[in-house]
Structure 1
């Protein structure tokens, strides 16, 4: 799984989670990205923690029931990267 994590551009391991912060050009663009990520997360029944600070949105993934990062988190991180694009 470590190699899969290193293949995720912009993602880092932090405090036992996968984390990525994305800066958007405008506040509402960040909100729109959150909406798209939330809709996808709901369809997958795997939800990131999302922190919104003006134009910066931080996505944090961990499978609490498994006590750490799982393949589901790695896949969701990849999906989130695809949804938000290169930033």
Structure 2
């Protein structure tokens, strides 16, 4: 996987309004109605991560889920991160 340039990342982010780029990673924060809904989304995301063999750095506090995506082998953001971000968006959208 080839690391994307900051310009390429900014262009791709136009399709992902919930995501930001900083510290060589994509970042998003999602708020749910309660812990159960948040944990349910995390479980669904976990299955997708396994299917893509790409795993985020994430934290959860009550109804808040913070996610950071980068490709460690490339030391930055690649198309692989955007593919996972798109899947996460679909999962979170269904959850709402």
TM-score by length of 2: 0.85
State which drifts further: 6-15 or 30-39.
6-15
Larger radius of gyration: 2
State how many pairs are aligned. 87
Q: What 5-or-longer segments of structure 1 have no aligned partner?
A: none
CA distance in 2 between counterparts of 1:48 and 1:9 reads 18
Q: Matches of residues 10-25 of structure 1 in structure 2 within 5 Å?
A: 10-25=18-33
**Which one of the candidate residues 35, 56, 60 is aligned to 1:52?**
60
**In angstroms, what is the RMSD of aligned CA positions?**
1.3
TM-score by length of 1: 0.93
